[in-house]
Chains A and B, each alone.
Chain A
């Protein structure tokens, strides 16, 4: 249950600049505090290290890498998050996806909001 208010900081991990930019705008206009978007695992981990994060929206595919290491780190920190992906499917081998909300692109801010509130 992550309500939209400024004390709730949301991390955005998204390698598409415009998509990340828009998501940030949208979440901020809903009232969330947003850090990111981060386009790589390294940058995202860096942001988690230096900020208190309440929740996260993770794009699964980050070009030449994926966001599973970030998810693992968030799980370790007990920070809830949702996945977004442009692909039809994600690898079933990764147990990280079980019991996680997965939104498909193109995403709509209402869906993101509902998903965040359900966390």
Chain B
């Protein structure tokens, strides 16, 4: 029983707890996903901000360079007579500007001097000099600048251009970009170009050094061709393209069209055997470049990991509290079943005195308890009834057994006495005697109780002698129920009286009557048998066994008194029997 009870409890517990756990797991999972996405967005935002900052830096730089170049071009066109010293002074001025690395004026052949085919005075930063500038003519050493992009393109297009980033091997071996403005006079004659070089190394170094993303590396790629412009490993710069990095970051080639088309975005790159990387890219529009940030998954999640941890802790705590609540609730729900189960166990083992005591509440369980209690008490009542009835049956059976045995013993005596006298009469008398005993037995069986009405006994004892006619016998007395022993004794006595009356008295002649009356006296119930008949019938005083029985049996068995009187009108028999010997006590 106890085991079952526990099982229900645990089933309830599991039924509530498991969905809760699943719910918690789901919440944690989606939470993780959301946080993951959020961290990537966070990184994206940082990268974007970084890119915008770098873009702004570039913009400023480029605008400055463009302004300086345009100003130089205007100055040169307005002062066509400038000599070499003037030009170098102009260029030196330009280079003194912040972030400008070098400046050059390159002339068309023979434009500056009819004797000089190529002339390109150039000034650039040189920390080793004092003042820190280098002055040179790049046309020296037979360097024909006219084939170079920075010269050819603006001349051809007749408008200023920015060159692609390149390494200037001759001028300090640094990464630079050049803004070239064509020098065109009023007559649309081209004199040459004026250029401003800006060093990209610094700006990319600045961008990568001020990296706000911990655990990440930044690189910049040039969008026309995918050349790396900035990379933590400087050996890659201007030597490798985006495609070369695919072995480090699988999936980069697939994304390269997006990266190089100036879009912003991110993707996950997983290289077998190493940690997943997030690659986030954002365009630097002014330079037609793209900033790429590479960050490890774990690093990406670091800022959010704390949040996830605290969330998980909170969830576990909430679950623990839920478990406690559920456990408590199931215990409380199941508690009232304990007395019910205990009572049912008792009932099933046959103890119907068991009752369930549920004091408070008015719910399903208490009605179950009530019903069980009612059932138990009804069963108990039934059992008590059955037991009582069985007890009565047993008593009755014993009573009958005793009575029959007594009766047989009496019959034995009657038979032996009849044998003694051995006459026809005595045999017939025996028949009547046995019949009168049978009468008592019949009456008792009919009533089903050991209660016999006296009037009925008298009537039936006399009936065989008067052919059932009612006017020969007058019965006068209150309704009285006889004890069995008294009834058997009286039946033999009345049988004896009736036999005698039939032989010699009132039942012999047609006019004779017998009155049987009884009434209470102080010594007990007085019963009288009074015969009345006219004819002077020969009164023969009975002798022998019959008379002996008539006079002795009642005193012997019922402690009563007897008297017989042979009056002129017939026999008068009187007996007084103590009430306790003759009557059933009133029930």
Contacts and interface: CB of A to CB of B under 8 A. Distances in A.
A18 to B, nearest CB: 4
B556 A39 contact: yes
Interface in B381-425: 398, 401-402, 405-406, 408-410, 412-414, 416-417
B553 interface: yes
B133 to A, nearest CB: 143
Contact of B409 (A40, A63, A107): A107
B418 to A, nearest CB: 12
Contact of B402 (A15, A19, A21, A87): A87
Contacts of A64: 580
A93 interface: no
Nearest to B403: A86
A110 interface: no
Nearest to A84: B409
B485 interface: yes
Contacts, number: 54
Given A39-B557, A88-B401, A17 B406 contact: no
Nearest to B408: A106
Interface in A9-25: 15-22, 25
Contacts of B559: 40
Contacts of B409: 16, 18-19, 22, 86, 105-107
B412 to A, nearest CB: 6
A86 B553 contact: no
A88 B410 CA distance: 18
B220 interface: no
B223 interface: no
A19 B406 CA distance: 8
A87 B398 contact: yes
A72 to B, nearest CB: 23
Contact of B557 (A15, A105, A107): A15
Q: Which of A16, A18, A25 has the most CB of B within 10 A?
A: A18
Contacts of B553: 17-18
Contacts of B408: 105-106
Contacts of B485: 63
Contacts of B414: 18
Contacts of B406: 16, 19, 86, 105
B405 A25 contact: no
B557 A21 contact: no
Nearest to A64: B580
Contacts of B442: none
A21 B412 contact: no
Nearest to B416: A22
A20 B553 CA distance: 11
Given A16-B406, A17-B552, A39-B556, A106 B401 contact: no
B489 interface: yes
Most buried by A among B406, B408, B413, B580: B413
A98 B251 CA distance: 115
A21 B405 contact: no
A19 B492 CA distance: 14
Nearest to A16: B406
Contacts of A107: 409
Contacts of A20: 556
B483 to A, nearest CB: 9
Contacts of A63: 485, 557
B405 A105 contact: yes
A39 B417 CA distance: 20
29 contacts: A15-B557, A16-B406, A16-B410, A16-B557, A17-B489, A17-B553, A18-B413, A20-B556, A21-B413, A22-B409, A22-B413, A22-B416, A22-B417, A25-B416, A37-B556, A39-B556, A39-B557, A40-B559, A64-B580, A86-B405, A86-B406, A86-B409, A87-B398, A88-B401, A105-B406, A105-B408, A106-B408, A106-B409, A107-B409
Interface of A: 15-22, 25, 37, 39-40, 63-64, 86-88, 105-107
Given A22-B416, A22-B417, 19 more contacts: A15-B556, A17-B489, A17-B552, A18-B409, A18-B410, A18-B414, A18-B549, A19-B409, A19-B410, A21-B413, A22-B412, A22-B413, A39-B556, A40-B559, A86-B405, A105-B406, A106-B408, A106-B412, A107-B409
